Amino acid sequence: MLSSFYPVVAGRTSDALSRNRSLYQVQVSQIGIQQLQDQLSSGKRYSLPSQDPASAIRVIGIQRDLEFRDQTLRNLDSSQGYLNVTESTLGNVQDQLIELRGLGVESAGNVSSEEERSGWVSQINATIERLTAAANTRYQDRYLFSGGTVNTATVKNSDSTIQFSGNDLSLMTIADNGEYIAQNVTGQKALGLISDGVVSRVNLRPAAIGTTRLSDLNGGKGIAAGAILLSDGLERITVDLSGAETLDNVIERVNTAPTISGRQVQFSINNGAIVAGYADGSPGQLRILESGTGRTAADLGIYVPSQTTPLPIIGNTLDPVLRPTTLLSQLNGNTGFDATGGIRIEQNGKSYSINLGTAVTLQDVTNTINESGASVRADITPDGRGLRVRSTQSGADFSISEVAGNLAERLGLRTFHNQVRLDQLNFGQGIYSADGPDITFSRNDGSEFSIDLQGTTNVQDVLDRINNDANNLNPATKITASLNPVSNGIIINSVEYVPDPLGPPLTTIPGPVKVRNAGGSQAATGLGLVPKGSTEAVASLTGTTYSVTGTDPNPQEVKGVFNSLIRLRNAIQENDTAAMSRAVGLVDTDLSRLSLSRGELGVQQQRIDDLKGLQEENQIQLKSEESINIDADLAKTISELSARQASYEASLKLLGSASQLSLFNYL
């Protein structure tokens, strides 16, 4: 402080200079007093960053961090509010399901009258309405279970089924630096509103092209960012590929790199692999090496450390994953995919024929399916390896078959095919086979033979067992089993019987082909050949061919709360005790899902509490650091103010004394 004072004027000097020096000293004291008074009134050491730049920079950073912490606390409070309402709603749903489970057990275990069944159906319908309202619960103008479609009601009643209108997207909020937390539970996770996906069984084998992103190569693992070395054995150059995003970027950087011994290296893509050589097309030596400890060349399939490899060098197939922009011409190793024909979706008794002949990309394929009118979601599987189609309509059967040709089979999306396991049929209940013969066939000549399905595991095994039976080899009476080429199911064919005038007389009566369950087995019914509740299926005659057209024994369904209740309601209406027992099992699965979801909610809420406590502790620490850097020390400030005031008074006295000097003071 004292360094700011001018020295006392000594020796001979002019009055003007003395007064100027005294005035400056008074002004400095006034400014100092004003600053100290500002510190006392505001509690801050400075009001402008220029007054203490180093401290101001630290305070700005601290205040920015405090604002972030304040926002994260608001985020956590908001998330906690949503999750509290969600947990309460799911608890209510679980209570209602427990009540209806008891109703299902009672209906399946007792002989009931029509009036009792009607009452149970009314009770189930009322519960479905209440659960629909619960699924459409809103909090702060947002539907809780709609996922990312926050302004769309979660479900709606449609044709005695429940239609899901949301998605299974989790809404994430910032909880800390680099840490996010979900503030919703999706309807799919808690209530089960989307079916398991019908996932493509075939490998569509997309080939890499120039626009393929590097991150999509090697099954989605991508390539290591780095550089590659190119050498002819005499010279060596390095090509940096660290910023490349597509294969075109890689090719451009290599093809515009400096020459090696006067020759330009040239990369291209052929059949999904990189081809390396020289631009002049002449033979020579070319080695492709890693830079340092990298593995970029190996990931690109072109690591060639030996000089004996002939040119051109053909790299390994790059194995890209499927993306919406993948061209159909890239599939099957760049030979293309013929999408002519169509697929048929059967859902809730309605049929949707979908023509994919104009599709160019996989996005065109999925868009066409999604816009078909069927309640389905078509997309690419999360691992990028195939297509997936899922139903969003609870309480309705769902299947995919052919329109004409075999497009659904070639896409791997047909739900009933020759490799379907028998224990997966009829919603996982199998075909109800028994010991001994399972199916009896009446041939066109009136004779019979039976087959035993013991040891069969899939549909093809059943077809082979029928077609190759030792008692079914006579061409005149042979019964042929095959997959229905259009709709799902098995079809039984046989020609009309033509008597052999030279043969022995028949001991049976010729007639239409028939199929029935043998003994205590229900395999013919389980395979869809005999209608449920019937004893046999009689073939129809078209021209000279008898045909028994089976129904689809492998329909798909949404596995969730609404599907379970609708199945229970339908089973009670039809007085089908087996279906009632199955529906009770579905409800048990729903209760387990709800319990798991509520348990995860509890963990999430505890995590939010912990994060809030951590953020509050961080705020206290940051505010303490902010105070250290900006708050004034009141005791020190008061002491400095007293000293400044004393100095100011002395300066005034000095100025007054200097103003009264005369000529005698200089003699």
State the CATH number of the domain containing residue 67.
1.20.1330.10
Domain boundary (523, 549, 575) is at 549
Domain region containing 237: 214-314
543: left (phi over 0), alpha (psi -120 to 50) or beta: left
Confidence label for 340 from pLDDT (cuts 50, 70 and 90): confident
Say whether both 240 and 289 belong to one domain. yes
Whether 541 and 569 share a structural domain: no
Residue 543 shares a structural domain with residue 577: no
Closest CA to 162 of 186, 136, 182, 141: 136
Which of 256, 285, 314 finishes a domain?
314
Helix segments in 468-576, DSSP class H: 523-526, 561-574
In the structure, what pLDDT confidence band is assigned to residue 19 with cuts at 50, 70 and 90?
low
Q: Report yes or no on 52 lying in a domain.
A: no
The C-alpha atoms of residue 440 and residue 516 are separated, in whole angstroms, by: 5
What helix, strand, coil percent values describe the chain, rounded to 5? 40, 20, 40
Q: In the predicted model, is pLDDT for residue 510 greater than 90?
A: no
Q: What is the pLDDT of residue 499?
A: 77
Asked if residue 571 belongs to a domain, the reply is yes
Tens digit of each residue's pLDDT (9 = 90 or more) over 451-493: 999 999 999 999 999 999 999 999 989 999 999 998 899 999 9
The answer to whether 472 touches 479, Cβ cutoff 8 Å, is: yes
Give 664 or 342, the one with higher predicted confidence: 342
With H, G, I as helix, E, B as strand and everything else as coil, classify residue 654.
helix
Domain shared by 307 and 350, yes or no: no
Among the ranges given (59-68, 162-171, 288-297, 635-644), the one the predictor scored with the smallest mean pLDDT: 635-644
At residue 3, the pLDDT reads: 44
pLDDT at 13: 59
Higher-scoring residue by pLDDT: 350, 306: 350
State whether 229 and 289 are in the same domain: yes
494 and 440 housed in the same domain: yes
**Average pLDDT score over residue span 304-310:** 82
Coil/strand/helix, residue 548: strand
The predicted pLDDT at position 5 comes to: 45
- Whether 546 has a pLDDT exceeding 60, the answer reads yes
Residues 69 and 186 in one domain: yes
Element (H, E) at 76: helix 53-109
The three-class DSSP label of residue 17 is helix
Mean pLDDT of the chain: 89
- Our count of domains for the chain comes to 4
Based on the domain organization, do 469 and 534 belong to the same domain?
Answer: yes
Q: Which of 158-162, 209-213, 530-534 has the highest mean pLDDT?
A: 209-213
Does any domain span residue 174? yes
Residue 2 has pLDDT above 50, yes or no: no
Q: Does the pLDDT value for residue 6 go beyond 50?
A: no
- Packed helices 577-630 and 53-109: angle between N→C axes, nearest 10 degrees: 170
In a domain, 203, yes or no: no
Please report whether residue 35 resides in a domain: no
According to DSSP, the residues that pair with 481 across neighbouring strands are 492
Q: Which pLDDT does position 658 carry in this prediction?
A: 61
What per-residue confidence (pLDDT) applies to 316? 94
- Whether 436 has a pLDDT exceeding 80, the answer reads yes
Which stretches of 97-136 are assigned E, i.e. beta strand? none
Q: What is the pLDDT of residue 321?
A: 96
Tell me whether residue 32 is in a domain: no
3-state secondary structure of 321: coil
Least confidently predicted of 427-431, 574-578, 597-601, 636-640: 636-640
Highest mean pLDDT among 12-21, 255-264, 658-667: 255-264
Judge if 370 and 247 occupy the same domain: no
* Cα distances (Å, whole numbers) of residue 113 to 100, 146, 238: 18, 40, 85
pLDDT digits (tens, 9 = 90+) for 134-184: 999 999 889 999 998 888 899 998 888 999 999 989 999 998 888 899 888
Do 482 and 576 fall within a single domain?
Answer: no
In the predicted model, is pLDDT for residue 10 greater than 60?
A: no
Q: What is the pLDDT of residue 112?
A: 78
* pLDDT of the residue at 279: 94
Q: Does residue 194 register a pLDDT over 90?
A: yes
Amino acid in the structure at residue 237? I
Question: Is residue 506 predicted with pLDDT exceeding 90?
Answer: no
pLDDT given at position 666: 54
On whether the CB atoms of residues 615 and 72 are closer than 8 A, the answer is yes
| In-domain check, residue 423 | no
Q: What is the pLDDT of residue 484?
A: 93
Does 499 sit behind a cis peptide bond, omega within 30 degrees of 0 on the bond before it?
Answer: no
Least confident residue range of 23-27, 211-215, 223-227, 352-356: 23-27
pLDDT at 4 (0 to 100): 46
Distance CA 437, CA 600 (A): 50
Query: 597 and 493 in one domain?
Result: no
- Which range has the worst mean pLDDT, 116-125, 248-257, 307-316? 307-316
Least confident of 6-15, 437-446, 553-562, 617-626: 6-15
State the average pLDDT over residues 224-233: 93
Residue 366 lies in a domain: yes
Kindly tell me the number of DSSP H helices and DSSP E strands found in the chain: 16, 27
Alpha-carbon distance of 85 to 596, in angstroms, equals: 17
Among 455, 223, 197, smallest CA distance to 319 is for 223
How high is the pLDDT of residue 393? 96
